[in-house]
């Protein structure tokens, strides 16, 4: 082994060990899975399907797929990494742009704002939210039909597939996002990337890793990323290797719909939910005082509880329930 090869091997080992220390503190579950895979490889109980290989003529690393007998970078890692870096800019390309449709409608809404406390219909409440949005767009004179624009900053960034991750530090330096989501379906490939890229650069801000997770954990990690600073979900920038990324887009879009701020918006909460509650209080409606319940464990000792659920029997017994409602909690 030449001196240059020894230095290269030492550099790879140093990076790998530094990443392990980082993961042991930042994501213990992922650390243990990587460590277990390393032990299995060393013990010969797991046969590697991917090898890290330095391409001399290119001056960078590639991944050799043993099973399919091919290189994942086509022996041109430098070119592929530059393409990934150059594709990422402060525009709408390769992104999920999720601004609510309220900001696309120019026709002015006619609504009696003073009557907002009496609104009950869902459509009227939606119109109230639309009116609020139009107050903003009328002031800024910006509508979403003007799409050719540059962004001043990108707050959330998603890496779909890592390969060796050589593109990740330069993209992170270029974009300087507030938080990152790293997705990779193959633990062995991610383990190889630990030799070639310093992942601590992402954790200087905030990073969530979802590496070869089962569906439940994968959804939890994506939700964790999206649920943090929800207001930034309007624009998600993406860099994808197009390898092992099946379902990622679908899961992200599904989570965005779950977190949709207009699914049950603030107007419905303010003028229906809260308003109905205050009206009940004005009418001396009996609410449970959980403080008293906690202090008096025998509060329900002589007061039976009646559980009611929808079904055929409820229709048959509805008159009985009305006649005896004061006998139960």
Domain limits for position 174? 3-93+150-246
- Is the domain of 186 the same as that of 329? no
In this structure, is residue 81 part of a structural domain? yes
Number of domains, the chain: 2
Residues 177-201: what's their mean pLDDT? 97
In this structure, is residue 136 part of a structural domain? no
- Is the domain of 70 the same as that of 155? yes
In this structure, is residue 161 part of a structural domain? yes
At 264 the pLDDT is 65
Out of 116-120, 155-159, 258-262, least confident range = 116-120
Which three-class secondary structure state does DSSP give residue 162? coil
Tell me which of 188, 218, 246 is where a domain ends: 246
117: which residues sit within 8 A by CB, 6+ positions away?
A: 271, 275
- Is the domain of 198 the same as that of 326? no
- Is the domain of 308 the same as that of 236? no
257: which residues sit within 8 A by CB, 6+ positions away?
A: 263
Out of 124-128, 267-271, 274-278, least confident range = 267-271
- Is the domain of 238 the same as that of 299? no
Best CA proximity match to 271, nearest among 108, 130, 129, 135: 129
Q: Which tens digit of pLDDT belongs to each residue from 56-68?
A: 999 999 999 999 9
Q: Tell me the pLDDT band of 299, cut-offs 50, 70 and 90.
A: low
Maximum Cα–Cα distance for the chain, whole Å? 93
In this structure, is residue 258 part of a structural domain? no
In this structure, is residue 280 part of a structural domain? no
The pTM is what?
A: 0.77
Residues 115-122: what's their mean pLDDT? 71
Q: Tell me the pLDDT band of 145, cut-offs 50, 70 and 90.
A: low
Which three-class secondary structure state does DSSP give residue 129? helix
Q: How far apart are CA 19 and CA 102, in angstroms?
A: 44
Instruction: Find tokens 């990152």 and name the residue.
Output: 180
- Is the domain of 41 the same as that of 160? yes
CB 24 within 8 A of CB 31: yes
Q: How far apart are CA 151 and CA 231, in angstroms?
A: 16
CB 164 within 8 A of CB 197: yes
- Is the domain of 54 the same as that of 196? yes
Which three-class secondary structure state does DSSP give residue 160? strand
In this structure, is residue 260 part of a structural domain? no
Q: How far apart are CA 72 and CA 5, in angstroms?
A: 23
At 136 the pLDDT is 73
Length of the chain: 329
Residues 16-38: what's their mean pLDDT? 97
């Amino acid at each position: 082994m030449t001196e240059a090869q020894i230095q290269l091997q030492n550099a790879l080992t140093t990076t790998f060990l530094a990443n392990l220390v980082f993961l042991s503190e930042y994501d213990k579950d992922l650390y243990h899975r990587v460590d277990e895979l390393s032990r299995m490889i060393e013990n010969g109980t797991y046969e590697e399907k991917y090898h890290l290989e330095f391409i001399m003529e290119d001056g960078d690393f590639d991944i050799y797929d043993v099973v399919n007998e091919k290189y994942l970078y086509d022996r041109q890692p430098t070119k592929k990494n530059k393409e990934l870096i150059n594709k990422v800019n402060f525009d709408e390309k390769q992104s999920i742009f999720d601004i609510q449709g309220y900001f696309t409608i120019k026709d002015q809404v006619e609504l009696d704002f003073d009557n907002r406390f009496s609104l009950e219909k869902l459509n009227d409440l939606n119109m109230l939210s639309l009116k609020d949005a139009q107050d903003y767009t009328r002031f800024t004179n910006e509508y979403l039909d003007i799409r050719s624009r540059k962004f001043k900053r990108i707050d959330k960034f998603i890496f779909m597939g890592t390969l060796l991750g050589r593109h990740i530090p330069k993209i992170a330096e270029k974009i300087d996002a507030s938080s990152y989501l790293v997705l990779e379906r193959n633990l062995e490939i991610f383990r190889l990337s630990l030799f070639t890229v310093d992942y601590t650069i992402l954790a200087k801000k905030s990073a969530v890793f979802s590496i070869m997770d089962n569906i439940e954990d994968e959804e939890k990690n994506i939700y964790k990323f999206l649920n943090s600073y929800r207001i930034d979900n309007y624009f998600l920038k993406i860099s994808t290797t197009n390898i092992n990324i099946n379902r990622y887009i679908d899961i992200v879009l599904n989570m965005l719909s779950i977190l949709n701020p207009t699914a049950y918006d603030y107007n419905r909460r303010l003028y229906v939910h809260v308003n109905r509650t205050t009206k009940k209080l004005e009418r001396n409606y009996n609410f449970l005082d959980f403080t008293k319940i906690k202090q008096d464990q025998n509060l329900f000792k002589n007061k039976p509880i009646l559980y009611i659920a929808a079904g055929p029997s409820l229709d048959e017994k509805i008159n009985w329930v009305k006649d005896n409602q004061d006998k139960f909690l």
